Every structure is written in structure tokens, then in C-alpha cells.
Amino acid sequence: MKTRRFVMGFTIAVFFLMVLFPLWGNLLPQPREESLDENREMTELSSSGTMKERIKNAEEYLDDHLAFRESAISLALRTDLDLGESPVSMVLSGFDGWLFYLEGEEDFRRGTGLDDDMIRELYDMQQTATDTFKASGVDYRILVAPDKHSVYPEYLPINKRLGNGPWELDQMMTSPGPEYSVRFLDPRSALLEAARSGPQQYYKTDSHWNSAGAWTVYQAMMDQLIAEHPTLHRLSEDEIVRSQITTSGDLAAMIGQKDLRVDHCENITVKEFKSHEDPDAGDSVMDVFVNESLPDAPKILLIKDSFGPALIPFLRESASKLYVMSNEAPSFAALGDLSRFDIVIMEVVERNRFWLWSGIGSDEEEYEEE
């Protein structure tokens, strides 16, 4: 009888210890998982709202603050990776430590491509933008930043290889008729060549190109622009500094491997900046960089997404002024006086290429500040 009571008491005690562990466990030292980046704010306790809302808030708070929560999540993520599985659906683990951003299967599996009507719709939209800029004497160019898997497909898992279908960027950059004057800046051949013979062009653990890749793209852009804009200053090797860096990117953070999966790659910086940011000339929409050493060089507007910032250090040293704004639904109203620009570069990453079918809006309310 005593033994039975002891077993029952012990079982009850263990049960309550397990139930209460998430609460009293917080009194113990909590190991901090620096590699875990959930990209969101943790829930905090709130005393406002209805009783139902306060109960829900308390539940979410406990979920976010359970004892050893970060260690448990990190362990689960590492277990998935050890088993060859990506713990996050948007991150694909490839060969040799390469990580890829997976927004949709269509980004990896090249299928039948674009039909003729879609291509003409694209060119109709972008021709309108081209004509609007041209009326103000502005040279409008489109720069599509290739996704990492398009430059390094050999590191994709075998079951995610690109296939034999057409590359939609090839179709997009082939004009459907002589009535169109839409112009693309195409850095793909330069990037592909550099990826095979030069330094690493994209981060292994990040979804973006690195500074070496941005330098390659910058040079390809200058090759295509200087013929018509000879006063552009093209940076030379003497004006840059090459070094080696160790870093960890956004994809590693998404799978809880920040600082555990790292890149060792070349970093290219400008040796001495002659331009400076002019906060008085900028506003909530645009940043402005002024280069007084190049008074006769063109003025450039870069409309960019997250691939654009790596280009800014080089472009600001090539123009008399560099204007920079987000490409999240820009409008001609937000651009203001178009005649203040000589060149407009619309940069968009390949996975968001279909944004080009909507293009630049005409009404101020269409613009959403980044």
C-alpha cells in the first residue's frame, strides 16, 4: 500500500512539475540562441482590452516566453537540417552550404515561359513609361537583378534544377516589335562569367548578391550607359578596395543558423568617397547624394528594391547627383519634376519580375512609402 501511494504521489509530483516547468523554469538561467532570428516582435503582456483579448494576450505571451523556448526551437531547426530538410518552407538547402530563397516553384522550374500576349502587355506598359520619361529628356532603363539560383543553378538540389524550359528574362528582354523602344540593362552574361571565373558573386547564406556581384553589375551597367552618357565616371580598380569578410545572411537567420552558417567572400568598397549625402535635398521619398567633383556628369535616379543598396556606393561616385527611392508602387507624381534626372534606372529582382507589368503609376495616391 505504501509503495502504491508513493508511486501515485511521485507520478502526481512529476505531472505538476512538468505542467509548471514553463513557468518556474524562467527562474533558471536562460541560454540565449544568438542564431535564432524570428523576424518579429515578441508578445508583451497588456492590461488593456476586453477579458477575451487579455486572455488571448496572456496565452500568446506564455507561448513566446516559455522556459528554454529558443533552445528547443534551435534544436528542432538543427535536427531538420541534419536530416537534409529545410525547416522553413521559403528556404531551400542546396549543395556546399548554399541556401536559396524559395518564393514559388515557378521560380526554379522553368516551364513553358511567357506567351506573346504577355510579352506585348509588358512592353505596352513599359513603353508608356519610356515615352513619359523621354518627353522630359530622360533615358529610362530597366535592370532585372537575376535571382541567385539563376547564376548558381549547380548548387540547387537535383530535384530543383531549372529544367529545359525558356528563361523568362530572355523572353522579356527580346522586343516583340520595332514599335517598342523599351531598354534593359542586362548584367546576366557578366554575372555568369564572373561566377565561373571570379570571386563569389552572391552570398551563400543570403538571398542577395554581395558587393563583388554588385561591382560586376555596376561595370556591366557602365559598359551599356557610357556610350550614350560619356561624362559618367566609371570607377577604376585604383578607386576600390578589395578585402575578405565573414558574414551571415538573411536565409541563415530564417532557419535559425545565423552566425552558425557563414560566408567567407570578397568585399569591395570605395576607397575614398567624393560624394556626400545631402539631407536638405532629400525627402521622405528620396535620398540624394551629391558629387561636386563631377559637375558635368549625368544625374541618376535609382528606383530600387533590396538589391539596389549594394549598387549605391558605386553609382554615387559616377554621377553628379544620385537620387534613390523604393520601387514599391512608385508614381510619376512621387517622382516630381522628371527633368531633374538624366537617367532613370528601374531595378527589380527576378522573382518580382511581374511587377514590371504594372510599372509606374500616374497618381500620387498609388505611391506607398517604403
pLDDT digits (tens, 9 = 90+) for 239-253: 999 999 999 999 998
E strand or H helix that includes residue 250: helix 250-254
pLDDT of residue 22: 56
Q: Which of 240, 233, 232 is nearest to 214 (CA)?
A: 240
pLDDT over 50 at 55, yes or no: yes
Per-residue pLDDT at 7? 60
Per-residue pLDDT, 199: 95
Indicate the pTM of the whole model.
Answer: 0.77
DSSP string, 95-131: GGG-EEE-S-GGGTS--S---HHHHHHHHHHHHHHHH
Cβ atoms within 10 Å of 333's Cβ, excluding its own: 14
Asked if residue 146 lies in contact with residue 170, where contact means CB atoms within 8 angstroms, the answer is no
Task: Identify which of 260, 160, 261 has the alpha carbon closest to the alpha carbon of residue 203.
Answer: 261
Report the distance separating Cα 2 and Cα 286, nearest Å.
79
Q: What percentage of the chain has pLDDT greater than the value 70?
A: 76
Residue 177: predicted pLDDT: 96
Q: DSSP character for 282?
A: -
Q: How far apart are CA 78 and CA 37, in angstroms?
A: 14
- pLDDT value at residue 83: 46
Cα–Cα distance list, 355 to 144, 148, 327, 359, 361 (Å): 11, 19, 9, 6, 12
Least confident of 166-170, 238-242, 273-277, 301-305: 166-170
Amino acid at 244: Q
- Comparing 116-130, 231-245, 249-263, 289-303, the range with the smallest average pLDDT is 249-263
Segment among 195-209, 312-326, 329-343 with least mean pLDDT: 329-343
Contact criterion met (CB below 8 Å) for 229 and 298: yes
Mean pLDDT taken over the chain: 84
Cβ atoms of 329 and 367 within 8 Å: the answer is yes
Mean pLDDT of 285-297: 95
pLDDT at 325: 94
Residue 68 is predicted with a pLDDT of 52
Domain residue limits, the chain: 2-72, 100-366
- C-alpha span between 75 and 302 (Å, rounded): 42
- pLDDT: is 9 or 327 the higher one? 327
DSSP structure string for 198-248 = SS--B-SSSSSB-HHHHHHHHHHHHHHHTTT-TTSPPP-GGGEEEEEEEE-
pLDDT of residue 279: 86
- Residues 168-210 have pLDDT tens digits of 999 999 999 999 999 999 999 999 999 999 899 999 999 999 9
pLDDT band for 352, please (50, 70, 90 cuts): very high
Beta strands at 240-247 and 263-270: parallel, antiparallel or unpaired = antiparallel
pLDDT at 73: 52
How high is the pLDDT of residue 37?
53
Higher-confidence position of 283 and 180: 180
* pLDDT band of 311, cuts 50, 70, 90: very high
Q: Name the band, by pLDDT with cuts 50, 70 and 90, for residue 370.
A: very low
Q: CA–CA separation, 243 vs 257, rounded Å?
A: 24
* C-beta atoms surrounding 302 within 10 Å: 25
Q: Is the pLDDT of residue 360 over 60?
A: yes
What pLDDT, in 10s, does the model give residues 252-269?
Answer: 988 888 878 999 999 999
Digit-coded pLDDT (tens) for 80-115: 454 445 557 788 889 999 999 987 655 566 777 899
Using CA atoms, how far apart are residues 4 and 102, in angstroms rounded to an integer? 56
Give CA–CA dist 10/168, Å, rounded: 66
